[in-house]
């Protein structure tokens, strides 16, 4: 017969646990349980150290870094243009937003103007990416809580969005479509029918999802009154995006500090009342509709004109000029051999990504490579707020709370 | 209320420099006063920087003071931002934590400790966050080796040989 006492002794360093869990855990009164790093509902490789009293969570200590790839360090040894591809890999569910914030930071230092057409295309694609990201969120969030069919419907629609991204950039996920001064190439003709048919279909699809979930008693039971976060706490903990607005704080960066011409679009910012998982669900569903509105307006007002800046110090000349203009050849050669240099300075740019405030701190030391790039990623901040949201709820609710902050671990660990 | 004038009136010499670039104001603050400055920025009527967006570290090697810590504050009431910066020496850089004023700083400061080796005194949980707990060095420092292998020539054969990963007893 095996000795049970023998097998349950924990062999780690007890000093590491002190301060993270209560004294009761050290005495063996409560249970310390690892959730993850390989767990289907942690949306990647996230490890949570839970202290449980029965099924109630007393404390929750997130352990991140499993997906740390040193992107910030890596970008320091790449030229400005070369490192755009790395930004895609951070938040792989909304790559265009990552491209956008990095390009905006470069454009801010360089003082580079982006033509109107490029701005409208950027807005349109950023909103399509938002829908794409929210669809994956809804799919996995519902799947975690047990609604299997929503997952399949969401991924069906997401497939159409990925096709649209493939039409514009040649890539389904890692598009690298935005470049400093504009975009990589103009929209191809196939883009417009694809987006129009999506815009026509999608409102009905949102209704389908809502019919499956919004008044579903199981969904209500699992989400209402769970993961409460007060408005004060949300601001203190640095929450942004749907998590902050779920607690009733009206702060959307697209409205407060407009970028890429967002001030010209007419859209509403949905707000929550209760600050629970259900309110955040309602907000993201409404954001899907508002994103559709923005895309419709962008399609209607898409102006003719250049799709990237005319400033040849930062933006390569069009192919057609290379055969005729010596200057174009020189600019092309310079951009492809040494890239462009930015004056010594530091900027911080923030945009509203599907998850919340996505910030980019860029420091240039006058060379052609960034001296320091830092991304303020919403997943990182929201995960640090997870203990405050999870405390006192059941371990089964934790699955819903992780889903509601919509984390992407690539975004968190960078 | 102008944040720069208010800070200069309140803290005098502790405000070391003020820069403006493309509409972004950077106020360099004496590291010993950073908690007071943050408290003042958050609680003063007319400033109300209630939201801490981001804290990040910068390595200015070979300059001295070598390290910088930048705090990006945002005021939802006034809709404006402010960057506070603290400069720290290259030798044992340390600054007091602002988690007491802005709880959001908790993980950001852990990240800076992990990747730059800047210690935040009185921090509630000063552990590494992204790198493994037993990692040597701080990767975002400019003098951190990038992992290339030094080429072995006759003049430095033994020197480089010492670091080769041969099987040892």
The string of pLDDT tens digits covering residues B143-165 is 887 776 778 888 888 888 877 76
Residue A2 has a pLDDT of 47
Selected residue with higher pLDDT from A40 and A211: A211
Max distance between CA atoms of chain A, in angstroms, equals 88
End-to-end CA distance of chain A: 48
Contacts of B102 in chain A (CB under 8 A): 236, 238
For residue A64, the distance in angstroms to the closest alpha carbon of chain B comes to: 6
Q: How far is CA B149 from CA A78, B13, B159, B160, B164, in A?
A: 19, 48, 12, 9, 9
| Reported confidence tier of residue B52, pLDDT bands at 50, 70, 90 | very high
Q: What SS3 string covers chain A? A: CCCHHHHCCCCCCHHHHECCECHHHHCCCCEEEEECCECHHHCCECEEEEEEECCEEEEEEEECCCCCCCHHHHHCCCCCCCCHHHHHCCCCCCHHHHHHHHHHHHHHHHCCCCCHHHHHHHHHHHHHHHHHHHHHHHHHHHHHHCCHHHHHHHHHHHHHHHHHHHHHHCCCCCCCCEECCEECCCCCCCHHHHHHHHHHHHHHHHHHHHHHHCCCHHHHHHHCCCCCCCHHHHHHCCCCHHHHHHCCCCCCHHHHCCCCCHHHCCCCCCCCCCCCHHHHHHHHHHHHHHHHHHHHHHHHHCCCCCCECCCCCCCCCCHHHHCCCHHHHHHHHHHHHCCCCCCCEEEEEEEEECCEEEEEEEEECCCCCEEEEEEECHHHHHHHHHHHHHCCCEHHHHHHHHHHCCCCHHHHHC
Instruction: Please tell me which of A18-22, A101-105, B2-6 the model is most confident about, judged by mean pLDDT.
Output: A101-105
Q: Confidence band (pLDDT; 50, 70, 90) for A1? A: very low
CA–CA distance, B160 with B149 (Å, rounded to integer):
9
Q: Which site among B62, B130, B137 would you substitute to test the A interface, given the most A Cβ atoms closer than 10 Å to its Cβ?
A: B130
Residue B83: its chain A contacts at CB < 8 A?
A: 346, 348
CA–CA distance, A352 with B78 (Å, rounded to integer): 19
- Residue spans of the domains in chain B: they are 3-161
**C-beta of residue A115 within 8 angstroms of C-beta of residue A307:** yes
Residues in Cβ contact with A138 at an 8 Å cutoff, skipping those fewer than 6 apart: A150, A154, A209, A284, A285
A91 in Cβ contact with A408 (< 8 Å): yes
Task: Confirm or reject contact between A374 and chain B (CB < 8 A).
Answer: yes
Flag whether residue A269 sits within 8 Å of chain B, measured between CB atoms.
Answer: no
CA atoms lying within 13 Å on the CB side of residue A328? 11
pLDDT at A4: 47
pTM of the model: 0.89
- Residues paired with residue B80 on neighbouring β-strands, in sequence order: B75
Residue A242: the pLDDT is: 92
Instruction: Check: CB of residue B100 under 8 Å from CB of residue B75.
Output: no
Q: Report the residue of chain A nearest B42, measured CA to CA.
A: A236
The confidence score (pLDDT) of residue B161 equals 80
> Confidence class of residue A293 from pLDDT cuts 50, 70 and 90?
very high
A73 interfacial to chain B (CB closer than 8 Å): yes
B137 φψ region: left (φ > 0), alpha (ψ -120 to 50), beta (else): left
* Residue B139 burial (CB count, 10 A): 18
Token pair belonging to B164: 């080769």
How close is the nearest chain A Cα to the Cα of B44, in Å? Answer: 16
Look at the block and give the residue holding tokens 């950077």: B26
Min Cα separation A65/chain B (Å): 4
pLDDT of residue A12: 56
B-proximal residues of A, 162-181, CB under 8 Å: none
CA atoms within 13 A on the CB side of A59: 14
Contacting residues of A for B123, CB less than 8 Å apart:
none
| Predicted confidence (pLDDT) per residue in B56-82, tens digit | 999 998 888 899 999 999 999 888 899
Contact A101, A349 (CB under 8 A): yes
A156-164 mean pLDDT: 92
In percent, the amount of chain A with pLDDT more than 90 equals: 48
Rounded to an integer, what is the distance from CA A83 to the centroid of its chain? Answer: 18
In chain B, which residue's Cα lies nearest the Cα of A258?
A: B79
For domain B3-161, which CATH number applies: 3.40.50.1820, 3.20.20.70, 3.30.460.80, 3.30.1950.10?
A: 3.30.460.80
Given an 8 Å threshold on Cβ–Cβ distance, is A384 in contact with B107? yes
- A357 interaction partners in chain B (CB closer than 8 Å): 53
Which domains are delineated in chain A? Answer: 71-377+403-413 (1.10.645.10)
| ipTM of the shown complex | 0.86
How many residue contacts between A and B have a Cβ separation below 8 Å?
A: 91
Name residues 17-46 of chain A within 8 A of B (Cβ). Answer: 19-20
Tens-place pLDDT, residues A331-387: 999 999 988 999 999 999 999 999 999 999 999 998 889 999 999 999 999 999 999
Contacts of A103 (CB under 8 A, 6+ apart): A84, A178, A179, A180, A181
The answer to whether the CB atoms of B83 and A109 lie below 8 A apart is no
Burial B10-44 (b: 16+ CB within 10 A, else e): ebeebbeeeeeeeebbbbbbebebbbbbbebbbee
Give tens-digit pLDDT for A99-151.
999 999 999 999 888 999 999 999 999 999 999 999 999 999 998 888 888 99
Mutate to test the interface with A, among B50, B51, B138 (most CBs of A within 10 A): B51
Contact B21 A251 (CB under 8 A): no
What pLDDT was estimated at residue B124? Answer: 85
B119-130 pLDDT, tens digit each: 998 888 888 888
Assess whether pLDDT exceeds 50 at residue A163.
Answer: yes
Nearest chain B CA: its distance from A115 CA (Å): 19
Q: Searching chain A, which residue's CA lies closest to the CA of residue B24?
A: A347
Rounded Cα–Cα distance for residues A159 and A198 (Å)? 11
Q: What are phi and psi of A370, to 5 degrees?
A: -70, 140
A366/B contact by beta carbon, under 8 A:
no
Give exposure, A185-196, as e/b (b: 16+ Cβ within 10 Å).
eebeeebeebbe
A361 vs B56: CB contact, 8 Å cut-off? yes
Nearest Cα neighbor of A368 from A344, A346, A348 is: A344
Preferred mutation among B80, B129, B134 to probe A, highest tally of A CBs within 10 A: B129
Q: Which band of pLDDT confidence, cut at 50, 70 and 90, is reported for residue B13? A: confident
Interface of B with A (CB under 8 A): 21-22, 24, 26, 50-54, 56-59, 70, 72, 76, 79, 81, 83, 102-104, 106-107, 111, 115, 125, 128-133, 139-140, 144, 146
| Nearest chain B CA: its distance from A251 CA (Å) | 8
Residues in chain A closer than 8 A to B70 (CB atoms): 346, 348, 361
Say if the Cβ atoms of A236 and B103 lie within 8 Å.
Answer: yes
Q: How far is CA A18 from CA A61, A94, B103, B137, B144, in A?
A: 12, 38, 21, 25, 31
Q: Which of B59, B103, B130 sits opposite A64 (nearest CB)?
A: B130
* Largest CA-CA distance found in chain B, in angstroms, rounded: 69
Quickly list H helices, chain B: 3-11, 34-43, 105-116, 157-161
- Token code pair at residue A358: 């996505």
Q: Does A361 touch chain B (CB under 8 A)?
A: yes
Best residue of B53, B100, B142, B144 to probe chain A, by most A CBs closer than 10 Å = B53
CB nearest to A235's CB, from B51, B57, B130: B51
Over chain A, what is the mean pLDDT? 88
């Amino acid at each position: 017969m095996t000795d049970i006492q023998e097998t349950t002794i924990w062999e780690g360093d007890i000093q590491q646990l002190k301060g993270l869990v209560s004294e009761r855990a050290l005495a063996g009164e409560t249970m310390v349980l690892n959730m993850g790093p390989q767990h289907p509902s942690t949306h990647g490789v996230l490890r949570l150290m839970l202290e449980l009293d029965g099924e109630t969570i007393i404390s929750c200590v997130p352990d991140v870094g499993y997906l740390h790839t040193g992107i910030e360090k890596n970008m320091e040894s790449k030229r400005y243009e070369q490192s755009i591809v790395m930004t895609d890999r951070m938040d792989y569910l909304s790559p265009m937003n990552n491209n956008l914030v990095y390009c905006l930071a470069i454009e801010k230092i360089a003082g580079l103007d982006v033509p109107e057409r490029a701005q409208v295309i950027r807005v349109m694609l950023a909103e399509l990416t938002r829908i794409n990201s929210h669809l994956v969120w809804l799919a996995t969030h519902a799947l975690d809580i047990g609604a299997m069919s929503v997952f399949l419907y969401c991924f069906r629609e997401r497939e159409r969005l990925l096709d649209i991204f493939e039409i514009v950039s040649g890539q389904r996920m890692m598009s690298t479509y935005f470049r400093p001064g504009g975009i990589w190439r103009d929209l191809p003709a196939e883009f417009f029918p694809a987006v129009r048919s999506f815009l026509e279909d999608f409102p009905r699809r949102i209704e389908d999802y809502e019919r499956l979930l919004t008044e579903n008693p199981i969904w209500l039971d699992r989400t209402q009154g769970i993961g409460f976060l007060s408005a004060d706490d949300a601001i203190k903990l640095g929450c942004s995006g749907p998590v902050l607005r779920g607690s009733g704080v009206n702060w959307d960066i697209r409205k407060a500090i407009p970028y890429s011409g967002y001030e010209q679009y007419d859209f509403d910012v949905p707000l929550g009342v209760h600050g629970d998982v259900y309110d955040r669900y309602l907000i993201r569903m409404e954001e899907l509709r508002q994103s559709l509105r923005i895309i419709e307006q962008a399609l209607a007002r898409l102006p003719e004109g250049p799709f990237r800046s005319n400033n040849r110090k930062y933006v390569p000349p069009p192919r057609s000029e290379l055969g005729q203009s010596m200057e174009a050849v020189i600019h092309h050669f310079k951009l492809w051999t040494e890239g462009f240099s930015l004056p010594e300075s530091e900027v911080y740019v923030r945009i509203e990504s599907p998850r919340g405030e996505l910030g980019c701190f860029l420091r240039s030391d006058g060379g052609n490579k960034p001296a320091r790039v830092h991304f303020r990623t919403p997943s990182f901040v929201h995960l640090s707020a997870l203990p405050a949201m999870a405390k006192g709820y059941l371990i089964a609710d934790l699955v819903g709370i992780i889903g509601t902050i919509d984390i992407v671990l690539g975004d968190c660990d960078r | 209320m102008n944040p720069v004038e208010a800070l200069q009136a309140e803290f005098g010499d502790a405000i070391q420099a003020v820069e403006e670039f493309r509409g972004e104001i950077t106020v360099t603050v004496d590291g010993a006063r950073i908690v007071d400055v943050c408290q003042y920025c958050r609680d003063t009527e007319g400033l109300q920087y209630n939201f801490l967006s981001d804290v990040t570290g910068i390595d200015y090697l070979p300059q001295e003071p070598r390290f910088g810590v930048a705090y990006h504050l945002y005021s939802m009431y006034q809709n404006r931002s402010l960057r506070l910066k603290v400069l720290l020496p290259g030798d044992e850089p340390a600054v007091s934590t602002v988690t007491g004023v802005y709880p959001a700083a908790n993980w950001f400061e852990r990240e800076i400790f992990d990747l730059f080796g800047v210690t935040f005194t009185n921090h509630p949980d000063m552990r590494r966050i992204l790198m493994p707990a037993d990692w040597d060095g701080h990767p975002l420092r400019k003098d951190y080796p990038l992992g290339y292998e030094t080429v072995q020539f006759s003049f430095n054969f033994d020197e480089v040989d010492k670091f080769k990963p041969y099987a040892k007893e």
